[in-house]
Structure 1
């Protein structure tokens, strides 16, 4: 069976491109989630996929970074796939399915994955270093403005403006951050940022956090 796994890092991102590519590859069942790749254990659909796969299955992803963020995580996940008797295929890498000898095919796949795992991790490291250097130079020139705020009353995107206004309305009515997230589907960091801004401006009464705040008010 061809099984797909699709992931984006936040609720604001879209899975459509990954799902479309997986379906074109003939994938029959897709596990999908919107969650950071920082922790393997905190990705329920990844765990569900690893529990679901069986011998002779093939697991497909659009690219390696959808599966894991570093070579250690990637090696761990791919090893679990292999231990299940399944094989792994990233759509951005060559496919050795045409190689008849199974041992040779597995060896070639293993070598290729090893090379690309470390290449992907090195590229992410270089990107972070270039971003940090760019920010440092921009600060020196006095032109650094930071990351654009998506959810604000002046956002050019009407959907983000509406979500911001709804967040403000719910927080002022006494809703917890967890309740706002369930209702609007935006990240907790965004909600806490808006909540802090409102509190600082005196538009939201300061409240000592309680255990129930993270539980959506459920005792």
Structure 2
């Protein structure tokens, strides 16, 4: 049996030291520095591939694995299918309960409650963010995200040139280093057909 830790913070600026310290007994630790709103995270996928039967996957909090109930259920099922066990450090430990079926039932119940809590917290974060944006708009302080390209941007001009030379929209966008949808959005913005 190997102890495998998984750490996630929402951005590269956030500090992982607290989680690293709590998972110091793990033989291997996987670290993602990105949002938990999606389960497509490189280190999470490596960890799920790496684990074997009998391993113990340890996270400091359930929301480190994911922020919505569906993703959490999928990830936890993958851990279980591999024959590994999930331990969440901030959840009650049920090791004192002798009856294995009762321990499993209580553990699953606790995990379901915490999955719901993690998803609810994610929704509250989004709601607070939207409220903040609305207040900033009313106050005239919110300008939105800065556009990636301007009309004079070299990449955009190159894509426009390629389009005029007979390239398809997809090919012009690819050669200019942008997605087709981004290129289309800028074409419409600058009325280029």
The two structures have a TM-score, normalised by structure 1, of 0.62
Against the structure 1 CA distance between its residues 125 and 194, is the aligned structure 2 distance closer, same or farther, given a 3 Å change threshold?
closer
Q: Report the 3-state secondary structure (helix = DSSP H, G, I; strand = E; otherwise coil) of the residue aligned with 1:36.
A: coil
Say which of 174, 185, 190 aligns to 1:210: 174
Instruction: Point out where structure 2 has 5 or more consecutive residues left out of the alignment.
Output: 160-172, 179-193
Q: Which residue of 1 aligns with 2:182?
A: none
Does residue 35 (structure 1) correspond to residue 34 (structure 2)? The answer is yes
Aligned CA distance change for structure 1 residues 145 and 111 (closer, same or farther; 3 Å) = same
Bigger-Rg structure (1/2) = 2
Corresponding position: 1:9 with 2:10: yes
Q: Does 1:89 align with 2:110?
A: no
User: Separation in 2 of the partners of 1:109 and 1:89?
Assistant: 10
Q: How does 1:135-174 map to 2 (within 5 A)?
A: 135-140=133-138, 142=139, 144-145=141-142
The structural deviation recorded for 1:39 is 3.4
Using the alignment, how far apart are the partners of 2:82 and 2:69 within structure 1?
Answer: 20
Separation (CA, whole Å) in 1 of partners of 2:81 and 2:112: 17
User: What value does the CA root-mean-square deviation take over the aligned residues?
Assistant: 2.7
Structure 1 stretches of 5 or more lacking a match? Answer: 150-192, 215-219
1:98 to 96, 99, 110: 96
Structure 2 counterpart SS, 1:118: helix
Separation of aligned partners in 2, 1:146 and 1:20: 40
Q: How far apart are the structure 2 equivalents of 1:109 and 1:77? A: 16
Question: How has the CA–CA distance of structure 1 residues 137 and 145 changed in structure 2, closer, same or farther, with 3 Å as cutoff?
Answer: closer
- Contact 2:4 2:27 (C-alpha < 8 Å) held by counterparts: yes
Matched position secondary structure for 1:37: coil
State how far apart, in whole Å, the 1-side matches of 2:48 and 2:84 are.
10
